[in-house]
Amino acid sequence: MTQPTHPTTQPNWGTYYQAVEGRPPRETLLNALTNFDAVPLVDRSLDRVVTPRSAVDLGCGDGRDTVE
C-alpha cells in the first residue's frame, strides 16, 4: 500500500515537543563541538591566527541541540 504524498491530518507539534522535552543533546552534536574546539585558532607553525570559524544551525527541530 502506498503512503499519501501529503498528510491527511495536521501534526500535533505540542504533543511532540512535550514528548521530547528535556532530552540531552545528541551525541553527534557533542562530537562536532569536541572536534570544532580541537582545531586551534592560532597556527603556531605559521605564527598567525587561523581564519575564525563559524557554525550554522540549519534547523532547530525540538531545540535539544541549541542549548549546547
- The pTM of the full predicted model, rounded to 2 decimals, is 0.49
| Residue of 32, 33, 31, 18 lying closest to 63 (CA atoms) | 18
Q: How far does Cα 34 stand from its chain's mean position?
A: 13
Q: What was the pLDDT predicted at 21?
A: 86
Contact status, residue 60 vs residue 68, Cβ threshold 8 Å = no
Alpha carbon separation from 39 to 16, 28, 50 (Å, rounded): 37, 17, 10
* Positions of the chain with pLDDT lower than 70, given as ranges: 1, 4, 7, 40, 42-44, 46-53, 57, 67-68
Instruction: Please list the alpha-helical segments (H only) found in 1-68.
Output: 13-20, 27-38
Residue 27: strand pairing partners: none
Position 6 scores a pLDDT of 73
